[in-house]
Chain A
Amino acid sequence: MPTVSADNLCKTFHVADKQPGMLGTLRHFAKRSYRKIEAVKDVSFSIEPGEVVGFLGPNGAGKTTTLKMLTGLIHPTSGSVEVLGQVPFKRRPDLLRQMTLVMGQKQQMIWDLPPIESLRVNAAVYGIPEDEAKRRIDELAEMLTVSDEMTRPVRKLSLGERMKCELMAALIHHPKVLFLDEPTLGLDVNAQTAVRSFLREYNRKHGASILLTSHYMADITALCDRVVMIHKGGLIYDGSLAGVVDRFAPFREVKLELCNDADEATMARYAEVESIDGRVVRLLVNRDGLTATVNRLLSEQEVTDLTVTDPPIEEVIGRVFDDGDSSGAGES
């Protein structure tokens, strides 16, 4: 039985539309016009126990709205959602005790008190006895290397330290299902690495299911074997991370080192030129014609070195979202 299952989830918002300028302001005051925004359209997927799934999409794609529906914060316009066999927006305490949502841009820590106080509050509301709460706080703080920051006011902590404390607050009750909305947003490289390691360890230790959104592909590649991609509110891919390249990148990257400086017009005759740096050329070659193109290059150009690789996953995903290409939709 899946831990999380979303079936044809849709969410439509009615948003006030205001035109700029004084006239627009007066019109907005006298008679507001609204337009419908379909933030999420027929999204269906499920997550199995212990699975870590990356949830990818550009800004405004509907990721956060989907997460809000999965956690029960907002009601779907249509469709159904279940988490651990329950409907989340009924907000039953036994479900709330088993899931959590971390929002990288929002904090639940009490700003003027040390993190330990907010953690005590969370421990209390989840019914964790004080000695057990202390043990968990010590353990989490050690894993996230913030033991020394527990008694400093939250407002005095760095962004990375605050984010780690947010994670502690969200995980102190050992939830089975984690919804993480950009948990590494704004963190430096070291802090990002620490958070990733922590999440990997938490998943291993507690067998938790994790749905993770992030704009940092390193988060996804480090933690997720499977990704779900959403674009303009609709699901365009659900499958393995490696499968993204096969699905959306019907080309491979051919890196050439020539004897002499390369000429772009000449190279463009073989394939799309990705970059030229002196004698080093990168071409994007269609998979179907890869052998023929490489043969032509070797026979017609003075090549000293040649390598064929898949393009970087970041680039593939970036292209999908930049192009608005949803040609892979329906194959998920």
Chain B
Amino acid sequence: MSSFTQPDLLNWSCPLPLRDCPLIVMGHGGGGKLSSELIEHIFVPSFRNADLEVMADSSVLTLPPGRVAFSTDSYVIQPLFFPGGCIGDLAVNGTVNDICMSGAKPLYLSAGFILEEGFPIAHLAAITERMGAAARAAGVAIVTGDTKVVEKGHGDGCYINTSGIGVISTAFPSSGLIGPSQARPGDTVILSGTIGDHGMAIMSVRDGLEFETILRSDTAPLNGLLESLLKFAPHLHCLRDPTRGGLASSLNEIAYQSKVGILIDESKLPILPDVQSACDLLGMDPVYVANEGKLVAIVETRFAEEILRAMRTSPYGQNAAIIGVVTAQHVGILAAKTAMGGTRVIPMQIGEQIPRIC
């Protein structure tokens, strides 16, 4: 069994009105007194901000000038708590990062919870506290939310949906042009850090496959890293955060949408030894393993070194590396030079990677 610090659920002291009911019951989603108590004692203290505390049916927001980026994502991860974070961190960082990838500054999030009857309220509180902390760290506010409860057996404890809006600063108007179809032959591919950390950290605690490791999820907000890049905006062509499907899927999508080929150098990929070992053990390829705090940037080559240096000044970009080039050959295909001097194509995966038999 992996050792990692679970949140201190036992010592969590439940606010008074919730004490006689330590588990989620159907009534918590019913809109009555139980729902209000949950909002008052769990959500508001965790997320605390003026817009939320208005408690209207919707939040009315004033946005700074500029075009608006809008994104949504649902989180269904198991286990809910894992080394390096929990579903709450993921739900905030994931949507923050999706907004960043359009060159926008994320500002506001919504949070929708689908809770399973019988889910411990202490676990919910641990999750919302982490969400609040993640939101503060990313400089965003969770301004509206919703809770529904499903009968026991109809959910997996806790599902979260977050949507978010951000604004593309008028100071960097060309950052609005960043997009997956903008890669051009001759561009350089930069990766912000090690790949596969999140996916393998989750594998290490998944039921039936616990293995001893120091791996932690890399879940992190990338808006700080993005801000360090915005001054290069006209030379940033694509940004992606390679989550599900890993680096391979993101680069395949860019190759397809931009109608270019991408050639990466396998020996340049930053991969932690523990991630590589775990992947080898299970017969998985780190290029397909999920990340939750990394970005891959396709940039104009003459600015590549400067952009790389800027990335490395951010705490989440210290291991950034130039990993490949965009080509006019093999359009729509991601290929790799192998460390042995051969070549291979890295196609999209059909479904999830499955551990091998031997």
- Report whether chain A binds chain B: no
